[in-house]
Amino acid sequence: QVQLQESGPGLVKPSQTLSLTCTVSGGSISSSGYYWSWIRQQSGKGLEWIAYIHYNGDTYYNLSLKSRVIMSVDTSKNQFSLKLSSVTAADTAVYYCARYDSVAYRTFDYWGQGALVTVSS
């Protein structure tokens, strides 16, 4: 059973960079056909896909956030990461990492429990 777990600071100051890491267990991040994703949810709102990355480095971004987002993958640690720069209060949200199955079902089939990140001074 694949499991994902987000980690990182829960509080970030405005204008700084939000950094989160997702650790994958129960499966290899190097499996073909999967993209490793970040999705966020602001309080009381819908889900917003941020970006996803393949283990070979192929990355797709939501254009609305692309100028501030960097994703990376570390296959040796079975981890992938998100950096979101120049954050404001509008970036306060629960951040989920998730696996996207791009071949069989085209779904976000496994999710982390979510990490609340608050942007505040």
Partner 1 sequence: DIQMTQSPSSLSASVGDRVTITCRASQNIGVYLNWYQQKPGKAPQVLIYGASSLQSGVPSRFSGSGSGTDFTLTITSLQPEDFATYHCQQTYTTPRTFGQGTKVEVK
Q: Which residues bind partner 1 (CB under 8 A)?
A: 45-49, 60-64, 96, 98, 100, 105-109, 111-114
The answer to whether 36 and 52 have CB atoms below 8 angstroms apart is yes
Residue 76: CB minimum distance to partner 1, A: 26
Residue 40: CB minimum distance to partner 1, A: 11
C-beta closer to partner 1: residue 104 or 121: 104
C-beta closer to partner 1: residue 55 or 95: 95
Going by C-alpha positions, the residue among 88, 83, 84, 87 that lies closest to residue 72 is 83
Residue 5: CB minimum distance to partner 1, A: 11
DSSP codes joined into one string, 46-92: -EEEEEEE-TTS-EEE-TTTGGGEEEEEETTTTEEEEEE-S--GGG-
**φ, ψ for residue 39 (rounded to 5)?**
-135, 140
The answer to whether 110 and 98 have CB atoms below 8 angstroms apart is yes
C-beta closer to partner 1: residue 7 or 111: 111
Residue 114: CB minimum distance to partner 1, A: 6
C-beta closer to partner 1: residue 12 or 98: 98
